[in-house]
Amino acid sequence: MPASATTGKEAPTVASESSSRISYFEELPEELQVSILLHLPKPELLASSRISRTLNRLSVQCLLLVEMGIPDVSSSCTIVLATDPKEIDALTAIMHSIHIKGTECLRIDFVLFTSYLHLVPPLIRTLRLLRRLKSIDDICLIFRPEKSTRPIRNEKHFKSMVSAFEEILNESLLKSSRALRLLGSEGFLSQYYRFTGPQGIPSPSTNQVKRHLLSAKEFFARSQDKKLEGSNLQLVKDVVTEDDLQYTPTRLSTFNRTRVTFPCSPSALLQTEITLVNLGCLDFLRPPFSQWMFSMLRASPVRSMAVGFSYIPEDVDELYLYDIKEEFAKAIIEWVLMFPNLSKLIVEPFVSYGNSKKPEAPLRHEIDIAAPSHSIFLPSIQTIEGPRKFLSWLIALLRPDLDRNFTPSPSSDSPPPKHPNLWKVSIVYSASEKFDLSSIASAVVDIHPFLIASAVLPPSHSYSTGPKRLIKTAYSPGVLLRLQLSFEKDFSGLGASLCKGNGAVAKLVKQGMFNLPDIITGAWLRSSKDSALGHEDIDAWFTEVISEELKEELLKDASGAQWIEARNMGVLSIVSAIHLDLPGTRREIEQGKFDDKIMGVISVFLGLDRLTLSTKQYADEGKALGQVSDLRLRKFQERNPNLRIVEIS
C-alpha cells in the first residue's frame, strides 16, 4: 500500500486521539488544570490558549498572574513592554485572549526603550491592543525621559512615530475613556523643535508659561474668532497653529521641511468623555502634539487637570519656574479661568530648585486679565490653598471691587456672593519659612475681607452645617480659615514669636477683650460692626474693641511693639483650624513628644476650633485618621478652652 494512502488513513486517528486527550484534560477540576498549566513554559502556555475557549481563559490567566503579576485585568492592568519582539509579555497574552474585552485602568510602560527609533513597534502594538479592547476607563502611558532617549534622524521613522501617537490618542477617545495620563516624558521630542518667538528670535525666559498656557486660554475662548453653526464651532483663526509657528525645527530635524503635527479626529472629538488629564510635563502642549491636545481639551468635559513642572529644560527660554512670581501666576490663573467647574485650587510653595541659573532677561510683556472675567472667575470653587503671598494676590484678583467694610446680611436684598460654594481657604507656610506671628496676622488681614464677602448667610441666629465644621452664621463668616504650618526639627522662630504672642494674649484676656463666651459666639466680631478687617482700618478697629486700661498700657511702649503684638493676637483669633506638619514619626506625635510646641501654638490662636497633627511619614505607616486621647485633649483645652477637636493624620 502506498505511503500516502497509509498516512491519509492514520491522520484522522492521530487527530482523534489528540482531541480525546484534550477532552479528558478539560474534564479535570479547574484547580487541577491550572496547577498543570503552571508548569508549562510561556510559549507552550500561549500555544494551549489556541486549543479551546476554556484553555484560552486558563492559559492567559496563568500567563498574566504568574509570569506578569496581573491578578485581574478587568480592574487594573500594568504592561511593561518587552524590547525583544519575540518575547512574550502581558500585551501578547491579552491579544491572544478571547475573553478579555476591557479594563478599568490600563497602564503601559515604554521606559525600556532607549531610542525613539525603537519606540515605533511598541507604539503600533499598543494601538492594536486599544483597538482590540472594547472599553478602557483610564489610560496611562509612561515614557522614558528625553535625556536618556536617543533621537531619530530619519524622516520616515519620525513621521511613523508621530502617526502612531495620533492613532493611539484618537483611539483613547473612541474607547470612551474618562482619564488620560501621559507621564515620565520630561522633554519628549523636545530635540526637534525650539521656541524662537514670533520674530524667530529666542524670547526672554520669563514669558514662557504665558506661551504654553495662555495659548490654551485663547484656544478655549476664541470669542472673537468663531462662528456658531448648530452645535459645532467653526474656527476662523487657529491661535494654536499660530503658537506652533513660533517653534522652529532644530538642526536635528532638518529633514523635516514640512511641520509634522496632527489634529484630533472629528469622530474622536464627538465621542470624547475625558474628565481627567494628567501630563507629566509640558511636552504634550507643544508641537507635534499641541494641535491634538488643545482640541481635545476644548471638546472634553474636563474637571481635573494636572501639569508637572518638575522638569526644567537646559534651554531656559523654554521654561523657567523657580518660584511663583506675579507674571507667572497671572498666566497660570488666566489658564485656570477656562475650567469653570474647578472646585479645588492648590498652589504648593516652592522650596529649592538646585543650582539652576536664573536668566537675567527682564519681563517684556505684562498679562492683564479683562475686567468681565472677574464675574465668572472660579464660580464653582470650594477650596483654595496656597502660600500667603499668592493668596493675597489671588484674592485681589478675584475681588478687585471688594469693599473692606462690606457687612454680610441674611436679608433677601443682599447681593449674592460670587463664590457661593467656597467653604475653606488655607494659608500654607512651608518648613523653610521662619515662624512669625506678625506675618501670619498680616496674611489673615489680607484674606479676611474675602471670607466675609464670600459668606452665604441663612436667617439670623440659625446654624448651618459645612464640611467638617459647624458654623454659627449669625456673627462669624461662613468660610473656614485654615492655617497650615510645617516645622523642621529646630522649629525655627517658634520660641521667640510665641514668647511675645503669649504676653500679648495674656494682656488681652486679662483686660477682658476676649473670653470664652465671646470667642465661641463670635461676639468680639460684633464689636467691629461685623465688618471685614483691612490694612487701613485695622488699628482703628483694635482701638475700638479694647478697653481704655489696656490701651493706656500698650501705648506706654514708645516703640509701639506691644501695641502691634496685641493687635496681631486679636486678628489671629479669626483662624479656626490649624494643620501642623511636625518632624519625626507618627508614634512620636502619639507619645506627646511635641506637646510643648503644640501648646505654644494653640495658646495664641484664641478662636481655634480644630487642630490636626501630621507627619510626612504617615503614608508609609498606613494608619487612618485618629483623634488624641481624652486626657491629652483636656490638657490642650486647658490651654485653649475653645479647642474642640485634636486629630492625628
- Mean pLDDT for 174-182 is 91
The whole-angstrom separation of Cα 588 and Cα 166 is 53
CA–CA distance, 441 with 507 (Å, rounded to integer): 17
pLDDT band for position 170 (cuts 50, 70, 90): very high
Q: What is the pLDDT of residues 89-107, one digit of tens each?
A: 999 999 999 999 999 999 9
Report d(CA 19, CA 13) in Å as an integer.
Answer: 10
Q: What's the predicted TM-score (pTM) here?
A: 0.48
Q: Which of 241-245, 370-374, 405-409, 553-557 has the lowest mean pLDDT?
A: 370-374
Contact 150, 252 (CB under 8 A): no
The mean pLDDT of the chain is 69
Average pLDDT for 264-285: 87
What is the mean predicted confidence (pLDDT) over 636-641?
Answer: 84
pLDDT score at 527: 41
| Tens digit of each residue's pLDDT (9 = 90 or more) over 61-78 | 888 887 778 888 888 898
pLDDT value for 389: 74
In tens, the pLDDT along 42-57 reads 888 888 888 888 888 9
Residue 470 backbone phi and psi in degrees, to 5: -115, 125
**Least confident range of 143-147, 450-454, 465-469, 495-499:** 465-469
pLDDT tens sequence across 329-340: 666 666 665 666
Sequence spans of domains, the chain: 25-100, 103-120+137-342, 383-649
Q: Kindly state the greatest CA–CA separation across the chain.
A: 129
Q: What percent of the chain has pLDDT over 90?
A: 12
pLDDT band for position 370 (cuts 50, 70, 90): very low
Within 409-556, strands assigned E span: 424-429, 463-466, 469-472, 480-486
Burial 351-385 (b: 16+ CB within 10 A, else e): eeeeeeeeeeeeeeeebeeeeeeeeebbeebbbbb
Phi–psi pair at 581, nearest 5 degrees: -95, 110
Cα–Cα separations (whole angstroms), residue 617 to 262, 304, 584, 586, 649: 45, 27, 8, 7, 10
Helix axes 388-398, 326-336, angle to 10 degrees: 50
Q: Of 124-133, 224-233, 357-366, 375-384, which has the strongest mean pLDDT? A: 124-133
Quick check: 464 pLDDT over 60?
A: no
Q: Name the band, by pLDDT with cuts 50, 70 and 90, for residue 415.
A: low
Q: At what angle do helices 30-37 and 53-62 cross, to 10 degrees?
A: 50
Q: Distance (Å, rounded) from C-alpha 239 to C-alpha 324? A: 26
Cell digits for 271?
Answer: 465621542
Q: Where are the alpha helices (DSSP H) in 305-387?
A: 326-336
Single-letter code of the amino acid located at 171: E
Residue in 581, 578, 583, 584 with CA at minimum distance from that of residue 601: 578
Flag whether pLDDT at 353 surpasses 60: no
* 491 vs 499: CA distance, rounded Å: 14
- pLDDT over threshold 90, residue 273: yes
Cell of 286: 507643544
pLDDT band (50, 70, 90) for residue 603: confident
More confident residue, 292 or 543: 292
C-alpha cell read off for 58: 486558563
Question: How large is the angle between the packed helices 30-37 and 3-26, nearest 10 degrees?
Answer: 120
Omega prior to 288 cis, within 30 of 0 = yes
Q: Which of 83-87, 167-171, 546-550: highest mean pLDDT?
A: 167-171
How far is Cα 415 from Cα 363, in angstroms, rounded to an integer? 39
**What digits encode the pLDDT tens for the residues 209-249?**
444 444 444 434 433 333 333 333 334 235 567 667 777 77
Q: Are 212 and 282 in contact (CB under 8 A)?
A: yes
pLDDT at 624: 55
List the beta bridge partners of residue 429.
Answer: 485
- Phi then psi for residue 73, to 5 deg, are -65, -30
pLDDT in tens, 560-581: 777 777 776 777 877 889 998 8
Q: Which long-range contacts (CB under 8 A, 24 or more apart) does 323-326 make?
A: 323/350, 324/349, 324/350, 324/387, 324/389, 324/390, 325/206, 326/393
Q: Which of 293-302, 317-326, 475-484 has the lowest mean pLDDT?
A: 317-326
User: CB–CB of 569/501 below 8 Å?
Assistant: yes
The conformation of residue 234, written as its DSSP 8-state character, comes to: E
User: What pLDDT is stored for residue 616 in this prediction?
Assistant: 62
φ and ψ at residue 460, rounded to 5 degrees: -55, 145
Compute the distance between CA of residue 421 and CA of residue 150 in angstroms, rounded to an integer: 49
423 pLDDT tier (thresholds 50, 70, 90): confident
Q: Tell me the C-alpha to C-alpha distance, in Å, between residue 107 and each of 75, 81, 104, 137, 146.
A: 11, 10, 10, 11, 20
Q: Please choose, from the candidates 393, 387, 383, 417, the residue with its C-alpha nearest in 3D space to the C-alpha of residue 403.
A: 417
User: Three-class SS of residue 248?
Assistant: strand
* Rounded Cα gap, residues 433 and 486, in angstroms: 9
